[in-house]
A and B are shown apart, each in its own frame.
Chain A
Amino acid sequence: MDSFTVLAGVAAPLMRANIDTDTIIRIERMTGTTPEQMAPWAFESLRFQADGAEDPGFVLNQAPFREAPILLAGDNFGCGSSREGAVWALKYSGMRCVIAPSFGDIFYGSCFQNGLLPVVLPAAQVERLAEQCAGGNARVTVDLRQQVVVSPHGERMPFAIEAIRREALLEGLDDIGLTLKQDEAIAAFQARDRVARPWVWQPGQ
């Protein structure tokens, strides 16, 4: 997995509440595509008009924001479907960080599995970042080591993140590799559980 330490770049404001993962990637784009191939379809229903042309009003279609590595969003970003394609579409479009007042639980967890950093900041701070970034030439810095976002005007906005997730992201650690090391504990748990709850282990008997 890619590690994440410090990121500085343009932040694209998409300040709307409840942007769901269906909006981030339509389900049809996940059949027969690799994660990399999903990138052009990120935010399809917002990005394109009915005739297939790009909607110039959509922030990620505007020149300074096209390659933005940071997204600023409203409450409950990534709610809805569990599809990890939502994270893949953002990641392979070049995004590394989403800043919002809150996130859908499953999306939030999936970000960490793919080296993307979801940052929770109070709504007022995200609004401020959005205002300062509106022109497109301001840069935001996200520092995971110091757990702080620095606004274009230099305001320092500290954020909280659990140590276990922070470490994994800083190091680019893979969860499966870590858990496989606990194979003995898993085997011991299962042996005990087979005795305690036999009905779980023999479906239908």
Chain B
Amino acid sequence: MPGRTLFDKIWDTHVVADLGEGWALLHIDRHLLHDLSGGRALNDIARRGLPVRNPELAFATPDHAVSSAPGRTAASFKPGEALHNELQRRSAETGITFFDLGQDGQGIVHVMGPELGIVLPGVTLICGDSHTCTNGGLGALAFGVGSSELTHALATQTLRQRRPKRMRVRFEGACGPGVGPKDLILHLIGKLGANAGTGYAVEYAGSAVRALSIEGRLTLCNLSIELGAKMGLIAPDDTTYEYLAGRRYAPKGAAFDRAVEAWRGLPTDPDAVFDREERVDAAAVAPTVTWGTSPEHAIAVDGIIPDPADAADPERRAAGLAALRYMGLEPGRPIAGTPIDWVFNGSCTNSRLSDLRDAAGVVRGRRVAEGVTAWVVPGSERVRRDAEAEGLDRVFRDAGFAWREAGCSMCVAANGERVPPGARSVSTSNRNFVGRQGPGARTHLASPMMAAAAAVTGTITDVRRL
């Protein structure tokens, strides 16, 4: 029998029934629910008169539509209050664990899931959110679903899925100074395009990936969907097991040892074959930033804004020209030095403790530039407490950053927190779409270090030159 990939091994263990033509009824081991889609799905299931099949495998928390203002309550953002209350009430009715504002456990779903040990290697995990792929950083098969599929999974603990193709991306070598997982993945999307991963489950491998912490691996997998891939994953190793040991919902004692033994069999076999292979020289990747309104509009920070008129494909040309107009940029100029108005450090991409440490390292001893509004929004209540315990909040506050409460905040503008129309923001989030951070907002995606560098200089800046 030919070797199998990490993906194949997880998929095969979860097939409840073969539906033919590559389709399977797939068992789902974990659900994460959030305020924007979770309550709606639980209402839907109640309306159909169906029970939640395995509530003990589901975990809920409000993140999208909550205010991140210091001292916030569920009522601070009015339109979100009903969503919060609905999720809380429906979770209680169905027996789903709910982490409320102010509790250890509340936070952006994809920050909360790993940090509580809810996400484990080899599990299937879904959430009504496309960045569920983040959780693949722990070796889980995790993917986002729409509302109908969410209802389906809550009612049946399964999904009808088509087996995707398999792609492997190997990042080899060591990242240079000022370069991290965010740069690697933006670089990859810039190189392959925002739909290169469509129809694939993408495994990230190579020495640069092995060297990443779990938090870095979560960042890398987070942008899989921006490459077009519903699923991105990384084989578990000792780094993974050390990270999981002792976490609240991870297995304990003998059960943990038994699990680790099983997890050691998950990595891709040496003779396994992928449908597509890509390789990136990590040492050659520069700090990367986007110039347009698709994550594929990514360039090295010391690069030149490209001219979309050079694009061969007419649809990409049209999209590129519209992007430049929206962004208020001219082709042929260096991207570095572009003046900015806002900085957003946060989101499920880059709001974990190590991200905040990276940003604080750049900020320490400096001040936010005149005319720039800069926010730090920790990804979870736990991250906020840990960061405060080591004094990171002081570093940011002393420099003139706003230090806020955990949630999605300005990543998505579903909570009243927006970049104003026409303003230019360097953001550590994952989407630079038109209006994503608010109508008319202009978003440049970058790493926490690059965002911090922009905050203190007031322009898009190569962090290596600071």
Contacts and interface: CB of A to CB of B under 8 A. Distances in A.
Interface residues of A, number: 62
A203 B57 contact: yes
Interface stretch (A62-70, A100-108, A150-158): A100-108
A83 B412 CA distance: 12
Contacts of B13: 197
B433 A204 contact: no
A198 interface: yes
A105 B230 contact: yes
A162 B164 CA distance: 13
B195 A102 contact: yes
Contacts of B380: none
A109 interface: yes
Contacts of B229: 105
A26 B441 CA distance: 13
A205 B195 contact: no
A182 B17 contact: yes
Interface in B408-466: 412-414, 421, 431, 433-436, 439-440
Interface string B36-51: 1100000000001010
Contacts of B379: none
A15 interface: yes
B9 interface: no
Contacts of B156: 176, 179-180, 182-183, 186
B22 to A, nearest CB: 8
A110 B149 contact: yes
A28 B436 contact: no
Contacts of B319: 16-18, 74
Interface string A147-180: 0000000000000001110000000000110111
A53 interface: no
Nearest to A200: B29
B193 to A, nearest CB: 8
Contacts of A80: 130, 225-226, 431, 433
A76 B194 contact: yes
A11 B245 CA distance: 56
B316 interface: yes
B433 A23 contact: yes
A204 to B, nearest CB: 4
Contact of A32 (B27, B79, B145, B255): B79
* Max count, chain B CB within 10 A of own CB: residue among A17, A84, A106, A175: A17
Contact of A185 (B17, B122, B152, B225): B17
B334 interface: no
Interface in A61-118: 74-76, 79-84, 87, 102-107, 109-110, 113-114
B228 A76 contact: yes
Given A82-B128, A84-B147, A180 B155 contact: yes
B294 interface: yes
Interface residues of B, number: 87
Contacts, number: 209
Contacts of A18: 194-195, 294, 296, 319
Contact of B149 (A20, A27, A109): A109
B102 to A, nearest CB: 21
B318 A16 contact: yes
Contact of B146 (A83, A103, A190): A83
A61 B195 CA distance: 28
A13 B8 CA distance: 39
B23 interface: yes
A132 interface: no
B435 to A, nearest CB: 5
A164 B20 contact: yes
Contact of B198 (A27, A76, A179, A201): A76
B252 A205 contact: yes
B123 A200 contact: yes
Contact of B434 (A22, A27, A75, A79): A22
A176 B151 contact: yes
Given A28-B414, A182-B16, 20 more contacts: A20-B433, A23-B433, A26-B435, A31-B414, A74-B319, A79-B228, A80-B433, A81-B431, A82-B146, A83-B146, A103-B198, A104-B228, A105-B199, A106-B145, A185-B16, A186-B158, A190-B54, A197-B122, A204-B248, A205-B251
Interface of B: 13, 16-17, 19-21, 23, 25, 27, 29, 36-37, 48, 50, 53-54, 56-57, 64-65, 79-80, 82-83, 117-118, 120, 122-123, 128-130, 132, 144-149, 151-152, 155-158, 160, 162, 164, 194-195, 198-199, 225-226, 228-230, 248-252, 255-256, 258-259, 262, 294, 296, 313-316, 318-319, 322, 412-414, 421, 431, 433-436, 439-440
By Cβ-Cβ distance, the 7 closest A-B pairs, closest first, are: A74-B315, A113-B148, A84-B146, A110-B146, A199-B251, A76-B195, A17-B315
28 contacts: A18-B319, A20-B431, A26-B439, A27-B412, A27-B414, A50-B440, A74-B315, A74-B318, A76-B194, A76-B195, A76-B198, A76-B228, A80-B130, A82-B144, A106-B130, A109-B146, A127-B314, A162-B162, A163-B21, A186-B157, A193-B27, A198-B258, A199-B251, A199-B258, A204-B117, A204-B248, A204-B252, A205-B255
